[in-house]
Amino acid sequence: MNGDPIFQANVYPRSLPSGIPGRISRGNPTIESGDPDESKPFTTYGLPVKKVAGRVVPIEAGDAADVVFGFLVESFPTSDTRLVTRGVLSGSVPVAYSPHAVLRRGYMHVLANGGAAYETADGGQVYVRIANPMPGLPIGGIEALNGPDVVAIPRAFFKGRRDQAKNVEIEYNI
């Protein structure tokens, strides 16, 4: 049994995978549909969003914490190739012209950026970067370390440590 690759493939040396950014992690969320601004596309799911002129857009440099409207939800996974080949569902990159689902209350998985100094903790505040982007720390990205280049997202908290891929569950407006 010790040399069996089937058993070795199921070992998680640090922790189980947390989830996929943008996916709802617990039941009974509040999700609203939002029309996107095609000139400001999102790069991935699980990012905080704001509304500008009735359109859902990513957080930008200099934004205040109170502009956060919710988090971008991956609408639904599918293997329907008709949708994928038409560009309606393209996997991990949101389609700029398709209505977006926005988490207004609930639990979801996000990508927490940063190295070891940016480790998340249960109940820790969720921050979003609004200045001085760096490799691995983009404007609009989620972080766990407070500083002059981030703002605290009101009522957003981490629900534990992030996994090896830096994914972690958060609660929002609970």
Residue in the structure block whose two tokens are 């534990």: 160
Residue 68 gets the label, from left (phi > 0), alpha (psi -120 to 50) or beta, of beta
The answer to whether residue 144 is domain-embedded is: yes
Residue 116: strand, helix, or coil: helix
The answer to whether residue 1 is domain-embedded is: no
Which range (27-41, 76-90, 114-128) has the least confidence?
A: 76-90
Tokens of 66: 């109170």
The answer to whether residue 80 is domain-embedded is: yes
Number of domains the chain is built from: 1
The answer to whether residue 87 is domain-embedded is: yes
Residue range of the domain that includes 64 = 15-172
- What does the alpha-carbon distance between residue 64 and residue 85 come to, in Å, rounded to a whole number? 38
* Residue 108: predicted pLDDT: 96
The answer to whether residue 21 is domain-embedded is: yes
Q: Which residues pair with 72 in a beta bridge?
A: 102
Q: Which residues pair with 155 in a beta bridge?
A: none
pTM of the model: 0.84
DSSP state of 8: H
Using alpha carbons, select from 159, 153, 168 the residue that is nearest to residue 71.
153
85-143: pLDDT as tens digits: 444 444 567 888 889 999 999 999 999 999 888 999 999 999 999 999 999 999 999 99
